[in-house]
Chains A and B, each alone.
Chain A
Amino acid sequence: MKAFTVHTGLAMPLDRANVDTDFIIPKQFLKSIKRSGFGVNLFDEHRYLDKGEPDADNSQRPLNKDFVLNQPRYQGASVLLARENFGCGSSREHAPWALDDFGFRVVIAPSYADIFFNNCFKNGILPIVLDKNLVDQLFKEVNAAEGYTLTVNLPAQSITRPDGSVIHFEVDAFRKHCLLNGLDDIGLTLEDADAISAFENQWREKSPWYFKPA
């Protein structure tokens, strides 16, 4: 996994509550057996005016000019500002894959669905939780100032606004450690292989009915 330390990027506001993962990446693109290439279909049903297909030439499709992602002032955005319960619904990791492939490195929202929140950390995306009123304030500032850029510093757990003021955010220590170092979760867990085996042995002894082969 790629590491995350400090990121400076243009913020893009997605002013909508309960954005679900079907919204982030529609189902027809989940037929892929790859992890990459989802960026061109990020927010597909809102970004384009027609129905997307996995094998379509996306450069030929009509764009929805009103959708925030297509507005000239947000081209190159890498910090997504979102509303509450972002990423609800389906567990599809294709959602963070699409955000990442498009170029988003940070999401800022008042709350997230649990599975999506978790999936972000596995893909080098930092989902930041901020107070609802503060997020609201950031929406106002982004809308008011073209080229609104934020610097997100994970070691310091800080967000620096264009005026230099700093917002502090919380992150779990272990997740922070993994993200900072781009650590492979599986490799880390396998360092505890002995503990897993010991657990497994006593569990098998106690509850053999769970070990009947599927």
Chain B
Amino acid sequence: MSGKTLYDKLWDSHLVKQREDGTALIYIDRQLIHEVTSPQAFEGLRLTGRKPWRADANLATPDHNIPTTKAERSRGLEGIVDPVSRIQVRTLADNCRDYGITELDMNDIRQGIVHVVGPEQGATLPGMTIVCGDSHTSTHGALGALAHGIGTSEVEHVLATQCLMQKKMKNMLIRVDGKLNPGVTAKDIVLAIIGEIGTAGGTGYTIEFGGDVIRSLSMEGRMTICNMAIEAGARAGLIAVDQTTIDYIRGRPMAPQGEMFNRAAEFWKTLVSDADAHFDRVVVLDAADIIPQVTWGTSPEMVAPVTGVVPDPDLEKDASRADNIRQALKYMGLKPGTAIKDIKLDVVFIGSCTNSRIEDLRAAAAVVKGRKVASTIELAMVVPGSGLVKQQAEAEGLDKIFIEAGLEWREPGCSMCLAMNADQLPAGKHCASTSNRNFEGRQGFGGRTHLVSPAMAAAAAIHGHFVDVRDILLDTART
């Protein structure tokens, strides 16, 4: 009999009940809650007179819908200009108060994007099961936790029962071997992976990311990788626990402390796939083949290396894929054969649960330091992932570097990643974005998104079009 994968271990340790047809009840250790996908869940509890099973397993913070300008934020909840948004943010606060759930409210220094806040606070721990009414909950898998995005009915279900009804997924291993090229980041790796397996490649699977390159990444980089597992179709991504994970968690406010931490850490070290574990599918990438990536289309799988060109649908043999390319190019206003480096940009967005952590901001700042945003760029903005990331960045002087270069320095939130607040990409405009989705209209009605790493977005801001950030980094190293 073969050993267990990390996913098998996490699943088995949380299994409450197995039904004959394969559906199961699994126990949930942590639920993260935000303002957009929770109001109807709390309303459901209210209508049925149910109470949360374990209120202290939940942690809430508003992120999707809140403004990112200081002017609006400084006036608190009442300062939110959009009345519909204000009601939603207030509803979260009311629900958390009514049901005894901890909320890091909009002006709490710890507030931020749920997927930045969870790990940062130590609310995300290895070996946990974690859910949130947000597909990017896969992020938390970077810490060796089984983390699923769920719908609102399931948010209510977890509130009321502390369990999720689930069918076990299959196991996939994506191994990135070799050594990463200089200037290539976690974002480039995950975009290359999605380019390889496609946006439905991981559907029905939990993906474990492994190999030397993944092991060498910081926790921030690992979170970027797992964050986009869902863009490959997998509800959950995972990375095995190692010393990097344990060092990251030590001392975080909601993590165990002292002797309890040591005991926990001993257990967490077992959260790796056994050497003889069976994976239903294994994909291997060589890091030597990965260079900075840029998406040119309307799906994250429509991606090319920065040295590449926009594809020609007439050269695509599969008719349905050719149609997809045609549709995408029409929406994006791009011609086949255009060099990626010739794509001109109007807006630059650095932020989102994919790339708004301190390491991301450092990488972007290193590129723009001492340079100016191109005059053709209409808006370049940096939105830190949490109040604490913002504070750290300011302590390091990154805010000044951005502001001097001509980028706006905003308050934490999801912002232009999904454009629910006022931060919207105008129709027809091209945006170099460190977010996770380039779907039609995602960043704003008619907006044209290109997904890239923070360093690539910063470089694009300086030049007004895509450039290979490796050239800039070489340039910086020389001077």
Contact = CB atoms under 8 A, between A and B. Distances in A.
A22 B299 CA distance: 12
A26 B441 contact: yes
B248 to A, nearest CB: 15
Given A33-B91, A214-B59, A115 B163 contact: no
Contacts of A214: 30, 56-59, 101-102, 123, 254
B154 A196 contact: no
Interface stretch (A68-76, A154-162, A187-195): A187-195
Interface in B214-264: 230, 233, 235, 254-256, 260-261, 263-264
Contacts of A210: 29-30, 125, 127-128
Given A22-B440, A91-B149, A114-B235, A196 B25 contact: yes
A88 B200 contact: yes
Nearest to B15: A199
Nearest to A83: B320
B66 to A, nearest CB: 11
B25 A189 contact: yes
B418 interface: yes
A213 B380 CA distance: 39
B210 interface: no
Interface stretch (B35-43, B272-280, B283-291, B370-378): B35-43
B343 interface: no
Nearest to B152: A93
B167 A172 contact: yes
B133 A91 contact: yes
Contacts of B82: 31
Interface residues of A, number: 60
A51 B14 CA distance: 45
A125 B217 CA distance: 42
A189 B161 contact: yes
A17 B325 CA distance: 11
Of A54, A113, A114, A185, which is in contact with the most chain B CB atoms at under 10 Å from its CB?
A114
B161 A186 contact: yes
Contacts of B58: 214
Interface stretch (B16-24, B354-362, B396-404, B463-471): B16-24
A164 interface: no
Interface stretch (A5-13, A98-106, A140-148, A201-209): A201-209
B160 interface: yes
A158 B194 CA distance: 36
Contacts of B88: 31-33
10 contacts: A17-B320, A17-B324, A18-B299, A22-B439, A22-B440, A84-B200, A113-B203, A114-B233, A118-B150, A214-B58
User: Which 3 A/B pairs are nearest by Cβ-Cβ distance?
Assistant: A213-B56, A33-B39, A122-B153
